Amino acid sequence: DAGITQSPRHKVTETGTPVTLRCHQTENHRYMYWYRQDPGHGLRLIHYSYGVKDTDKGEVSDGYSVSRSKTEDFLLTLESATSSQTSVYFCAISELGLRTEAFFGQGTRLTVV
């Protein structure tokens, strides 16, 4: 299994509170991604990183921010959580290049009440 660890694995939080999810990799891969998965929508890209301090938005980035200060860590922050952000969040990693596969972490189930 690819060395990807997400934390926490489960979290319940209240509307309006900040939340940070962490993705840690031991593979030294350049690219890291945050996806959310919801019924009927599949996996959708939130933000991604192509190197330390290099990040960009995905298709559903509103309400989320990210940071990558080290190759191995990619943080996803919900500045003020809303019920619409209740979802399962997956981190993925890949090496440089179009032909390289992406590997996923175990996921974080976030519930905003």
Partner 1 sequence: QKEVEQNSGPLSVPEGAIASLNCTYSDRGSQSFFWYRQYSGKSPELIMSIYSNGDKEDGRFTAQLNKASQYVSLLIRDSQPSDSATYLCAVAWRGTASKLTFGTGTRLQVTL
Q: What residues line the site for partner 1 (CB under 8 A)?
A: 31, 33, 35, 40-45, 48, 50, 56, 58, 90, 92, 94, 96-107
Nearest in space to 67 (alpha carbons), one of 57, 89, 82, 52:
52
φ/ψ (deg, to 5) at 84: -70, -10
Shortest distance, position 61 Cβ to partner 1, whole Å: 12
Of 53 and 97, which has the nearer Cβ to partner 1?
97
Shortest distance, position 85 Cβ to partner 1, whole Å: 19
> What single-letter DSSP state applies at residue 84?
G
CA distance 35 to 41: 11
Shortest distance, position 16 Cβ to partner 1, whole Å: 28
Of 12 and 15, which has the nearer Cβ to partner 1?
12
Nearest in space to 11 (alpha carbons), one of 93, 91, 87, 104:
87
Of 72 and 89, which has the nearer Cβ to partner 1?
89
Shortest distance, position 51 Cβ to partner 1, whole Å: 10
Distance of alpha carbon 48 from its chain centroid, rounded? 8
